[in-house]
Structure 1
Amino acid sequence: MTPWLSALLATLLLLSPTARAVDEADLLPIDEAFALSAKATERGRIEFTWKIAGGYYLYRHRMGVQPAGGGFKANPLELPDGIAYTDEFFGDVQTYRDEVTAVLTGAAADGVRTLDFQVKYQGCADVGICYPPHTKTVTVELPADGGAPAGTDPLAAPAGTDLFGVATNPAIAAGGLPLPENQAFRFEAIVDTADRLLLRFTPAPGYYLYRERNSVELAAEGVRAGEIQWPPSQSHFDEHFGDVQVYFEPVDAPLPLIREHTRAVPATLSVTFQGCQTDGICYPPMTRTVALQLPAGGAVGGPPPETPPAKAGTPLWLALLLALGGGVILNLMPCVLPVLSLKALSLAQGGGNQRKARVHALWYTAGVLASFAAVGGIALALRQAGLALGWGFQLQQPGVIAALALVMVAIGLSLSGVVSFGASLAGAGQSLTEKSGPAGDFFTGVLAVVVASPCTAPFMGTALAFAFTASPVVAIAVFLALGLGLALPFLLIGFVPALAARLPRPGAWMETFKHVLAFPMYLTAVWLLWVLAKQRGADAIGLALVGAVGLGLGLWLWEKARWKGVLAKAIAVAVILAALWPAVLVQRMPAPEKAAATEAGVVAYSADSLEQLRRDGRVVFVNMTADWCVSCKANERTVLGRPAFREALGRAGAVYMKGDWTDVDPAITAFLESHQAVGVPLYVVYPRDGGEPEVLPTLLTQSIVDEALARAAD
């Protein structure tokens, strides 16, 4: 052990705030902590033995031996199994304590009496300090034929070449000591705005800071910290963690704040980070705490995210046309068909009356347009308030899913004849369930929009991306064009007599048809409950089923109380309202723990994993999906779940990565926004050479996928 390393580690322990309880005498020189000896038991067998001091350990995977010159043809080093250990630097490793012997076998050249070996090893002390990788040259005397073995020279000098591939640090070689951590890594935090802090990290010359090994805690009433917004970093090969992203220069990183109020409050910020000395020691994770005063103001929910400008290549007229076409195609989506069946029944009940058909069509269109305008307005307002949301965001709320399931059950019960909504024969309009009258038509349009939200039709993606990046007035215009497309088929039937004349005439068949239509509504409720199970588990399903039973009881009581007094009706209404309470309880339930990836051969999405795969030169197929997205499930069943897709992945050497947006997930939302997508499905193929990714259409075919993967692999 050279004197500089002993002084280095002792000084670090004395100066580091995290290790002030360690006395200088507690840290041994490396040759005392790991006393190495070697002997030749025979000419073709060398044993290297480390006697390890108490409170110290060696890494198995950081040990190696190589002949320093000719004269010995060596086999791989033989090491015994170590003790399993999860290490903060290397992950799951094996370590040795007390004593360990490694055996190097081989063939020594004739006439050779002594051999030099370069021995590498690295270890740590239990107090939390790791020694730098150490290389030592030892000389072993070989026995003569049948002679006694000889030992090593304990004073052999360290080799000039590090077997780990790390050059000797000139500053340390010259006797320089590492700085204490508060000088090696300075940290400051200031209040930038009411919604944002500015963090400044300043590594000293010859030191670097890890980008990924950090965490933030903010103690402030009604305010929590977002994710640190790191600027671009530098790739670096690190002895502790391999290829990492680091900063050698001072770096400023904004930290957004998510506020529940706009009051001024005191705050305490604690930031934990880690860094190393170039070709030297790695400091343990260090925590700095700063007291701040957050001013009044800011936006509740946090600062709005920066959104990219609308694509210059998408003019307004094209966005409106695409939205109109996307709305028309929504009529063909399976999630909309049950509601459209109800609308077809109401038009058939018109019996060919052209005036009634126009009234039906106009009120249905009003319901659709009002709903699209409301959903678009809410989404834009929430995004402006700092909540990144996309199309279909309402179905990420389990309470909404549960409430929709109960609505479907109620409609199914009405179609089955259990109850009929509306006034008496003397009242205005017929029943809401039969979908006649202005209220019924308007309600059907609202319901069509709600159940259409999980579907993303072709042409919708570009139009909605344009809407979410344009001015509010233009955005609402795009949403209205989308609604107009959804309502267009019924507008044509209402205002084109030739189309209306093709509708079947009313008759006794309609009662049977109405009963049949109840079953698609029940199936829709089942599908929604399946989505709810994915979001909140079996307990949520139990609550929703209790609500469905209570709703059925309340509707039955309402039907029985139709011709009775106010008290009977009040009881029925109370039961119905109580049946809706489970939807509120479901919304408050925590999400269950999910496995990172539940399918064989599928990697769960994370930005870090994707970045690492791209650095490794891998082709990556990213599938952003959700359990409530019908289009997603259709693509997975017809393309992504087939053997042909797996074969295409194999040919391209591609990794299949999947992100689940069933629940709110800011990381996936950020990924969608980075590709100017406002919902799922989203399919992105990343090429092997690190070039620009390719976004695939929302409706896949096997040929589209095959061609995209082939291009990415070239």
Structure 2
Amino acid sequence: MMTVVRLMALALLLACGLAQPASAQVQAQAPAQAQLRNPATLAVEGPVLPGETVEVAIAFAPREGWHGYWFNPGDAGKGMELRWDLPPGWRAGEPRYPVPETLFAFGFMNHVYKSPYAVLVPLTVPADAAEGPTLIGVRAEYLACSDSLCVRETAELIGNVVVGADGRRDPRFARWEAKIPPRIDATARVEREGETLRIAIPLPQTQALGRPHVFIAEDGLVQYGEQQAFYRGEDRLVAVLAAKGDANPSSLSGVLRFGNSGRGIAFTAERGPVGLGSTTPLEASNAPSIGWLFLAAFVGGIVLNILPCVFPILSLKALHLARAGESESAARRDALAYTGGVMIAVLGLGVLLLALRAGGEQVGWAFQLQQPGIVLALLVLVTAITANLAGVFELPTLAGRRQASGSFATGLLAAFIATPCTGPFMAAALGAALILPTQYALGLFAALGLGFALPFLLLGFVPALRSRLPRPGGWMAHFRRWMALPMGVTALAVLWLAVRIGGWPFAAIGLAIALVVIAMLMGAGRRQRGGRPVGGGMIAGGLAVVLALAVVAPRWIDEVEADAGVLDPADFSEATLAQAKATGRPVFLWFTADWCLTCKVNEKVAIEREATRDAFADAGVIAIRGDWTRSNPAITRYLESKGVAGIPLYVWIDRDGEEQVLPQVLGPDSLIDLAGASPKTPARGTPQ
């Protein structure tokens, strides 16, 4: 039922002549979508197996000047009502809405959508459903408003659900799903204090907020039009909202919006103490400012140079260092070329990441190494570089000569391979880049690239540093060939990654491609040493074979299960994490990938150890691992909820459900100490 305030608001609209006449309302209820101010369509995600759940979308396209409403419309308006026409045994779940906008008009605060949006509804298919297309229908009743009119609209929608394995997924669902706010797994707290409701939302200190706003799902609890105040503390955000009447809820739910980015998080709060101690008002708090985020990205880029992520391009960086001992002009030229390569790669990756996310893809900072096709291309590239460093053939851009193009290519490759793993300081900056306006996001990517290139810029422009390097000489030719060894190890590592990302048949095709490339380059090298031009026919034939193998490679991609490891962790999912927390036992949650060397070093040093396993067993710790080697939307959403864009990420959850984000570089006893300090509690179950 509408609240008194909402009834008064609608009465005011009618009294002012702002509501549509009754005859026009009847016309708007007609099924013809062309007559609607906010026309709706029904879409089905794709085929579904009996007993499983499929998403259906009710997609709206408000006409210019019109808007629709969130399920809690605010002071005025009306939420959507759905009446489903489903076969026996089929069941529709609760609708999921994107993050709404605020609209303040005539003294009323409304929660609206002015641009096209989609409401997603899970549809559960019974286990005995017959295979084949099944007709479903829904009657959607909702309100569409402009600045001068409000119209009750009705859309009669029908669609086909294909039960069975045949069919393709509707690509629009990735875009719609990306607009749904991820629900944080930690429980917020709500408390009545005087005439206000205080809500403490668990949120990392690193999460950029912009100008936040809280939308409460339940009606009648807060005064929507009153100003909201925010206080920032360590890993929590306290929202202070004007309470309505004597509202003192035992629980509530809502959405926290981050500025005007269209992004946010969903939360559930239970009644509990919410103090403002150790917090400061958001305007004067120590929340990350734009300046701090730029500094964090810059410093994170510098630190990245000493992390294990850089090992794959160690050979090229070492050659660049060796060349820096040449003439001052050559050193400056190479330093600028290297920096240019780094900047173009980082900005290019950043632009592509933002474009993919704007298109609805659930991707993070590591997206370039999660694609099997890119892994194959990288295998070809590092194989060619290894052959070049070993002297198999000559390619001026990577042969260690003075040409600036070699330094530029080194910068490109270094940034492409090394940046997917986030290091200290980087996580906060890259997490903010996903929700800030585009110009700020690109600025953060540029700061990261500049920090990554800084050591070589200093070598090129500070003679005192360059004078400490050995002077160039004949030793560089031998040094270059020795550097083929770590690059060869990198080629083997990429081949192993092909196994992990696509299975052995896929990796075998990758190996065949690498062997064809080596044979082609060896032939080119022989012709070069004989003073003859490289044969175009030979290269064309080799490339044709490589292209043919690359075309068939996707057909051989298999799902690869992660190794059990010493801890034998459960695989991450939102349900698994919720079940683990419900046991009342400590939980260690970590996110890793086979292409993240920093992750693998941490696992070797601190996680996958017998001492850690024994400490976890004594304390009853549940281990959960999120493997992000391949793109995983659930993991991406969880990373976003923690304000980060990449891995590694380590989270410790104590028996009370309090979460602690651990450093990205773990010590040998980091986890053992946490387990030892955890009070022992009786288990209430174990996640499956």
Scaled by the length of structure 2, the TM-score of the pair is 0.60
1:463–1:323 CA distance, 2 compared to 1 (3 A)? same
1:413 aligned to 2:387? yes
Aligned to 1:254: 96
1:483 aligned to 2:442? no
1:302 aligned to 2:302? no
Paired residue secondary structure (2:398): coil
Give the deviation of 1:301 after TM superposition.
Answer: 4.2
Aligned to 1:185: none
CA distance in 2, matches of 1:193, 1:631: 50
CA distance in 2, matches of 1:465, 1:546: 39
CA distance in 2, matches of 1:442, 1:195: 50
1:611 aligned to 2:578? yes
Aligned to 1:110: none
CA distance in 2, matches of 1:525, 1:561: 25
CA distance in 2, matches of 1:590, 1:503: 47
Answer whether contact 1:399 1:584 (CA < 8 A) is retained.
no
Aligned to 2:504: 538
Give the deviation of 1:491 after TM superposition.
Answer: 0.3
Paired residue secondary structure (2:624): strand
Give the deviation of 1:561 after TM superposition.
Answer: 4.2
Answer whether contact 1:687 1:711 (CA < 8 A) is retained.
no
Aligned to 1:455: 421
Answer whether contact 2:391 2:481 (CA < 8 A) is retained.
yes
Q: What is the CA deviation profile of residues 623-646 of structure 1, one whole-angstrom value per residue up to 9, with x for unaligned ones?
A: 111111111111110011122312
CA distance in 2, matches of 1:533, 1:324: 34
**Equivalent residue in structure 1 for 2:53, among 203, 211, 215:** 215
Deviates more, 1:357-366 or 1:458-467: 458-467
**Equivalent residue in structure 2 for 1:382, among 346, 356, 370:** 356
1:399 aligned to 2:373? yes
Give the deviation of 1:502 after TM superposition.
Answer: 1.4
1:437 aligned to 2:311? no
CA distance in 2, matches of 1:713, 1:435: 61
Identity %: 36
Aligned to 2:651: 684
Give the deviation of 1:404 after TM superposition.
Answer: 1.2
Aligned to 1:657: 624
1:362 aligned to 2:362? no
Answer whether contact 1:625 1:632 (CA < 8 A) is retained.
yes
Aligned residues: 458
Letter in 2 for 1:254: R
Q: What is the CA deviation profile of residues 477-530 of structure 1, one whole-angstrom value per residue up to 9, with x for unaligned ones?
A: 111111111100000000001111112112221111111000110000111111
Aligned to 1:621: 588
Give the deviation of 1:335 after TM superposition.
Answer: 3.5
Answer whether contact 1:398 1:532 (CA < 8 A) is retained.
yes
1:272 aligned to 2:124? yes
Answer whether contact 1:625 1:682 (CA < 8 A) is retained.
yes
Give the unaligned 5+ runs of structure 2.
1-32, 46-50, 59-69, 73-90, 99-120, 138-156, 161-169, 183-206, 211-286, 681-688
CA distance in 1, matches of 2:122, 2:424: 47
Give the deviation of 1:193 after TM superposition.
Answer: 7.7
Letter in 2 for 1:604: D
RMSD: 3.8
**Equivalent residue in structure 2 for 1:526, among 475, 482, 492:** 492
Paired residue secondary structure (2:96): strand
Give the unaligned 5+ runs of structure 1.
1-189, 200-212, 221-228, 232-248, 257-268, 275-282, 423-430
Aligned to 1:27: none
CA distance in 2, matches of 1:643, 1:334: 23
1:589 aligned to 2:556? yes
Aligned to 2:306: 332
CA distance in 1, matches of 2:329, 2:173: 49
Answer whether contact 1:198 1:253 (CA < 8 A) is retained.
no
1:625–1:420 CA distance, 2 compared to 1 (3 A)? same
Paired residue secondary structure (1:534): helix
Aligned to 2:249: none
1:600–1:475 CA distance, 2 compared to 1 (3 A)? closer
**Equivalent residue in structure 1 for 2:464, among 484, 489, 498:** 498
Letter in 2 for 1:302: R
1:474 aligned to 2:440? yes
1:314 aligned to 2:295? no
1:610–1:339 CA distance, 2 compared to 1 (3 A)? closer
What aligned pairs does 1:547-586 form with structure 2 within 5 A after superposition?
A: 547-562=513-528, 568-576=535-543, 578-579=545-546, 581-586=548-553
Give the deviation of 1:197 after TM superposition.
Answer: 6.2
CA distance in 2, matches of 1:368, 1:477: 14
Tell me which of the two structures has the higher relative contact order, counting C-alpha pairs closer than 8 angstroms and 6 or more residues apart.
2
Deviates more, 1:604-613 or 1:461-470: 604-613
CA distance in 2, matches of 1:596, 1:557: 40
Q: What is the CA deviation profile of residues 643-677 of structure 1, one whole-angstrom value per residue up to 9, with x for unaligned ones?
A: 23123312331111112111122222222222222
Q: What is the CA deviation profile of residues 32-72 of structure 1, one whole-angstrom value per residue up to 9, with x for unaligned ones?
A: xxxxxxxxxxxxxxxxxxxxxxxxxxxxxxxxxxxxxxxxx
Aligned to 1:239: none
Scaled by the length of structure 1, the TM-score of the pair is 0.58
1:693 aligned to 2:531? no
1:675 aligned to 2:642? yes
Aligned to 1:636: 603
Give the deviation of 1:618 after TM superposition.
Answer: 2.2
CA distance in 1, matches of 2:632, 2:124: 24
1:215–1:681 CA distance, 2 compared to 1 (3 A)? same
1:600–1:640 CA distance, 2 compared to 1 (3 A)? closer
1:293–1:367 CA distance, 2 compared to 1 (3 A)? farther
What aligned pairs does 1:42-121 form with structure 2 within 5 A after superposition?
A: none
Letter in 1 for 2:124: T
**Equivalent residue in structure 1 for 2:430, among 458, 464, 479:** 464
**Equivalent residue in structure 2 for 1:516, among 470, 482, 505:** 482
**Equivalent residue in structure 2 for 1:507, among 466, 473, 484:** 473
Q: What is the CA deviation profile of residues 417-440 of structure 1, one whole-angstrom value per residue up to 9, with x for unaligned ones?
A: 110014xxxxxxxx5322531221
**Equivalent residue in structure 1 for 2:316, among 330, 342, 351:** 342
1:699–1:595 CA distance, 2 compared to 1 (3 A)? closer
1:441–1:612 CA distance, 2 compared to 1 (3 A)? same
